[in-house]
Amino acid sequence: MKELTEGFIQQLRHAVEIGESATVAFSGPRYSNVVFSGMGSSGIAGNIVQAYVSDKLEVPVIVHKAYNLPYFVSHSTLFIATSFSGNTEETITNVREAMEADANIGFITSGGEMLRLAQKNNIPHIAVPGAVKHPRAGLGYTLVQQLYLLHYAGLLDDTFKTELRQSITLLEEQVGSIKVQASALASAFQGKLPVIYASDTFEAVAVRFQQQLNANAKQLAHVNKIPEMNHNEIEGWQNPEKLFGQLVVLCIKTTYDNQRVRLRMDLTKPVFTRKGQEVLEIEAVGATFLEQVFYLVHLFDWVSMYLAELNGMDPNSNKNIDYLKGEISKV
């Protein structure tokens, strides 16, 4: 897993090459909505793309992470399903429902049942390398191809391509400082429950961080977004008193945060410090949305790697996930 984290920049570069060389054509009408279907890292890639296109697309975009598709999915829906293995149970269920609804479908997968369905039914798709053993380590592949499918569907212009190239350059320049910062954060998180706050715009990046801490470092974490946190959770910072010594607070800040959100973050700090909490802050680096996203993703992936080492955990193991998959396959 550490080698895959080390190779993330090259993965992004390769993902762009795949997207550029893809031959994808959609024949549907003008879309009334876009639905991303995916679980785990495939789903969080959709959430990041959803945040990126929120001020670019004239149609609503949702990310679906459950068995049954919303009733509104129809022939005017652009349905993009992502499954690294091609066999994700929930996503396959969504795919079959989308086909029944006559939606305009696009796939991102490395193989499995989804690739078989794509080839059998002439469904537009982009194949990603299947050599990445753990789908969470292939976020660069899935996220980039989701952007390209929106582009090939006529919904996204070429601007994202420039931002992708700039993101790769930024990571190449910042990789040394990223590792130093990640090591310090991992040390601060060891033996603690990380409580992570971000703006609504970067909530998906914070959730990705939580997922990486869970899956790689085998450690729980809590995530919430501001301003939503200010309307209920903030009152929870009163009890139980004995818990507060086991927490560490991290606030993620970006230049894309609403100014009122940044104000709320600053005004919320005393609530934490009154409980003896040191509040850590990370400021995203980069001139564009995608640059800041990939900077934070790479930084947080390294935190999960260093924390796995501190916890004495093997980030390649998926003991609990494998157990659940084995048991549910029996039913």
pLDDT tens per residue across span 78-132: 999 999 889 999 999 999 999 999 999 999 999 999 999 999 999 999 999 987 7
CA distances (Å), 252 to each of 124, 151, 196, in order? 37, 29, 8
CATH of domain 175-311: 3.40.50.10490
Least confident of 4-13, 19-28, 43-52, 138-147: 19-28
Secondary structure E strands in 169-314: 193-199, 222-226, 247-253, 279-283
Q: Is the pLDDT of residue 29 over 70?
A: no
Q: How far apart are CA 315 and CA 217, in angstroms?
A: 6
The CATH class of 2-157 is alpha beta
Q: Report which residue type is found at 3.
A: E
pTM: 0.95
Q: Phi/psi class of residue 86: alpha, beta or left (left: φ > 0; alpha: ψ in -120 to 50)?
A: left
pLDDT band at 156 (very low <50, low <70, confident <90, very high): very high
Q: Are 71 and 103 in contact (CB under 8 A)?
A: no
Strand, coil or helix: what is 323? helix
**Dihedral angle, C-alpha 160, 223, 194, 274, nearest 10 °:** 120
Q: Write the pLDDT tens digit of every residue in 209-255.
A: 999 999 999 999 999 999 999 999 999 999 999 999 999 999 999 99
* Per-residue exposure over 179-209, b if at least 16 CB sit within 10 Å of its own CB, e if not: bebbbebbebbeeeebbbbbbebbbbbbbbb
Residue with tokens 């990939």: 294
User: How confident is the model at residue 243, as a pLDDT?
Assistant: 93
CA–CA dist 38, 136 (Å, integer): 12
Report residue 118 as tokens.
């794509």
Same CATH topology for 2-157 and 175-311? yes
Do the Cβ atoms of 217 and 308 come closer than 8 Å? yes
Domain boundaries of the chain, sorted by first residue: 2-157, 175-311
Element containing residue 178 per DSSP (H, E) = helix 159-189
Alpha-carbon dihedral 163, 181, 227, 44, rounded to 10 degrees:
50
Task: Please list, in sequence order, all residues whose beta carbon lies within 8 angstroms of the beta carbon of residue 78, skipping any fewer than 6 positions away.
Answer: 26, 28, 31, 33, 34, 35, 103, 104, 106, 150, 153, 155
* Kind plus residue range of the DSSP H or E element containing 180: helix 159-189
